[in-house]
Structure 1
Amino acid sequence: MKIFKTLFFISLVTAVLCSCKPDQLKPVETDKSAPGTVSNIKTLSRPGTVKLTYTLPSDQDLLYVLAEYTDKYGKVIQAKASYYTDSLVIQGFADSAVHKMSVYAVDRSENKSAPVVLDVKALAPPVFGIKSSLVLAEDFGGVNVSYSNPNEADIAIVVSYKDSLGYFVNNETIYTKSKQGSFTSRGFSSKSTVFGVYVRDRWNNRTDTVFKTLTPFFEKQLDKSKFRTVILPTDIGDYGSGLVISNLWDNVINANSNMWHSRGDAGTPMHITFELGVTAKLSRFVLWQRPGAYIFNHGNPKRYEIWGSTNPPLDGSFNNWTLLKSCVSVKPSAQAPGVNSQADVDAAARGEEWNIPLDAPKVRYIRVVILENWIGGPQAHIAEMAFYGSDN
């Protein structure tokens, strides 16, 4: 009897489960009544965008508002906003032409209201204003591109050049939303080159190309065998135990025994000095952090400055020194010190590269000023540095 009851129970449960149909993906409500229309629509034109403000219909099952139009490429563009808000922003306009836009109210059963059709017109997309601000100039080993992006639009600046066969080849793409900035696309010899630069956004709106023929300045890595340590009265000097300043130019990056390390009680700000062995017009430099668990951590520099001089005073003061670059180290993952992503590891391995302004004077002596390390402690360490430019 017990066996019979058990089998009967199992059969009953199985029958109940099998009778259930997988309809959980259907709308919670299934009425066929369309909601009322959106009313009192007002438009505000912005660069590449149009903002709508409106009054929602009073339907209790209203879910969202939908706006759509067909862009100049024939693609239907849609944007949605929930019933919690009374405004909607449509982005990605490729021009400033008038477009017919349909606005719908949509309920929880995906019923759409009758459309409200209106004419909308965005201001010119930001990429066109950015294109008009582009300035291309000769730089060490390449072309310097400066730009203005007042709307902080997400953009890509694409740099190309004409190769020996007369074709334009992409050299570099810089992604940014900075209000203004400049960068140098390098890898070119010192000969006349036709460069082309254009701007595009994430909707693939793109500008015409700006062309300019330039002759990049000659650039080379300065010979580290000519570098030498200089100890001036105000310098922090070495930690000792082989962790000396000259380790900064021994071409060893991935060893904790080959680095410069300050005294443990040095305190910030602190500085060290060394000579390049030549008087050079610098284009850039690269700094490599102490490796391993120390990247973006411990005494690696977070805020630091590079100063240059041709005749530093013997009293160790900053007279006759010129500030070449103020640097703030940026950790790609933005995670706390000691927690590193692969992007952090890769960035540390590449080194932190910084351009020196084109109007900076020639220098022979370098002073590295550590303002802050990654944990706010009193010590500092650097694995390696390299300097580029021309000593002609």
Structure 2
Amino acid sequence: MRKIYQLPAFLFLLTIVVSSCTKDDLAFKEYLKNGETVYPGKVSKIVAKAGNLRTGLWFNPSPDPSVTKYVIKWNNNVDSIAVNSSSHNPLDTIKVIIPGLSEYTYTFTVFSYDAQGRKSIPIEAPNVRVYGPLYQSGLLNRPFNATEPYVVNANGSVQLNFNTPDTINVGTTIRYTNTANVQVDKVLSATEMSTVLNDYKSGTDILYRSSYIPSKGSLDVFNASEFSTFPKIFTLVQCDKSLFKEIRLPNDVNTYESGTSISKLWDGSNGPQSYPNIFHSDGSYIAHVLTFDMGKTYTNLAQMEEVGRDCCNNPDRFEVWGINDLTNASTTLRADNSGWKAEAIAKGWILLKDVTRADDGKNAMKFDLIANPPPVRYIRIRVLHTVTGSGYSNMSELTFWNKQ
């Protein structure tokens, strides 16, 4: 029989180990033939800041003390910018502005470098949008409150009202001319719904333009491309009572006595007056009508105020009529005739206001007249009823305002 000799198990294993070590050792030496690869520490937490044809990259520096600079690359590494390392505290922030960009979406890659020129593994800031003229062209000015765009206050100031702005709105510039004829810019913040112009020059245009940021923390503010014109501001100017004159048309009511004439209605008295400092009709009948000349034509008569007597006979229902030319304007019917209104309209009179007062008629009360009235110079007041139900009517003062 042929004998087969078997190596002991430990000798077999030793042979494999020796053979294996020799092979790996050669491979490791080959891998390290150019020296060990060293990667400087990378940056962390890159934050992009939107800008106008530029962007900002904020990042925390590497804690590696060997890092001497950072290089940011984009456009497939064609373009780059370098910034020296000024801190190795990872709680600090390095801020880099990259100018001269196109309106586009970029990916930026940040490398750390040491003094030997070795670089870190790349850290990317992807999808960084850069804004410019295309973005700006789509911005719209903040809308004004269409229901009540403005309020003219009693002191002559003007309040401009706006709707809730877009969340990226940072302000709206209001440009107006003041009473000194100087152009003024005033900024309405995004948190404000209105602003007051205390020195607005009546009749001049008001312009406005809104400003926006593309995102929170943006480098730049973008303005809407153009100013918009705010709705025309009309202010109420009191009609000049010094020009008012008494007129008597056929069938107009008589006065109680000469001292209580119609002219008492524009003598400048303040508040309900006592007899005889009032207009007092003769009490012949109700309804009755009185007429006067305002002395000039008003193209936008907008408001009136009526003040009653301090005690009695105050009108609680009356009509205000207006016309600009009295030629053939006289009515032939008495004011208590049911056909009077139709005749007045046929003669060219315009009903400016039908007033009903629910109080005792004493105190001053203002009334808005019809919108967009025709030119008016002459006024007729047709008294339909008084609080006492008598045939007399008493009033202390009438005031009119023109919108301009």
TM value normalised by structure 2: 0.42
User: In terms of Rg, which structure is larger?
Assistant: 2
TM-score, normalization: structure 1? Answer: 0.43
User: Which has a greater percent of strand?
Assistant: 1
